[in-house]
């Protein structure tokens, strides 16, 4: 009898410990729901910030970049996607945008000239330079971020460099230092 009483006391302590563990797990589960409720507004803010960034950035591959942001908005409305997957996809979109800053790219496109869409080849250098060359090589230009428009360049100054940059970006030429038109930094306080 004494042996059974000791055994029962021991089982009582094990049951009490298990009940405490169940309560702890329930508190953790409740905490996860709170974290999920706090993370959702953060993810929505991240999507809006990404949208604003794309809108204000140098205008390259805009359709693709806007579609990525729109797909994130759709993803946030889907009930069959878990919070971690949503967050992973948002971070992936940020990583793609980040990678644009370290790459050189050439792609075809059009610019508007006098109400007409003119086919061009774009050269993008990171996020700091977006240049173009018309297909007939009659005009070269650069994106002026301050004015938010493309400006034609004097072809004698940059034509060969932009051509070389396009070849490098298309992997038709070995990487090398190229001279491209970039905006000049303004001096703080108006000195200079």
Average pLDDT per block of 10 residues along the chain, 192 residues long: 89 93 87 77 95 93 95 94 91 95 92 90 91 92 89 82 91 84 57 43
Q: How far is CA 144 from the centre of its chain?
A: 22
Task: For residue 165, give the nearest of 136, 147, 142, 149 by alpha carbon.
Answer: 142
Instruction: Report in angstroms the alpha-carbon separations of 166 from 90, 124, 126, 174.
Output: 31, 9, 13, 11
Query: Which residues share a beta bridge with 116?
Result: 113
Q: What is the pLDDT of residue 31?
A: 77
Task: For residue 129, give the nearest of 59, 55, 56, 61 by alpha carbon.
Answer: 59
Taking the C-alpha atoms of residue 24 and residue 190, their distance in angstroms, rounded to an integer, is 61
Question: How far apart are the two ends of the chain, measured CA to CA in Å?
Answer: 97
Does this model's pTM top 0.85? My answer is no
How do beta strands 149-153 and 140-144 pair?
antiparallel
Instruction: Report in angstroms the alpha-carbon separations of 74 from 90, 98, 109.
Output: 12, 22, 28
Q: How many CA atoms lie within 13 A of 162 on its CB side?
A: 28
């Amino acid at each position: 009898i004494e042996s059974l009483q000791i055994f029962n006391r021991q089982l009582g302590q094990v049951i009490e410990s298990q009940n405490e563990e169940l309560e702890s797990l329930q508190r953790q589960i409740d905490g996860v729901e709170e974290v999920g409720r706090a993370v959702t507004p953060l993810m929505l803010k991240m999507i809006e910030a990404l949208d604003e960034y794309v809108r204000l950035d140098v205008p390259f591959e805009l359709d693709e970049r806007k579609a990525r942001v729109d797909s994130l908005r759709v993803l946030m409305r889907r009930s069959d996607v878990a919070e971690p997957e949503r967050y992973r996809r948002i971070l992936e979109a940020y990583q793609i945008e980040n990678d644009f800053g370290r790459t050189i790219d050439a792609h075809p496109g059009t610019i508007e000239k006098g109400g007409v869409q003119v086919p061009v080849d774009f050269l993008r250098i990171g996020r700091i330079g977006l240049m173009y060359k018309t297909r007939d090589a009659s005009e070269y230009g650069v994106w002026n971020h301050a004015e938010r428009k493309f400006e034609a360049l004097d072809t004698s100054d940059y034509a060969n460099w932009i051509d070389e940059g396009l070849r490098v970006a298309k992997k038709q030429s070995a990487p090398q230092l190229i001279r491209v038109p970039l905006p000049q930094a303004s001096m703080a306080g108006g000195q200079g």
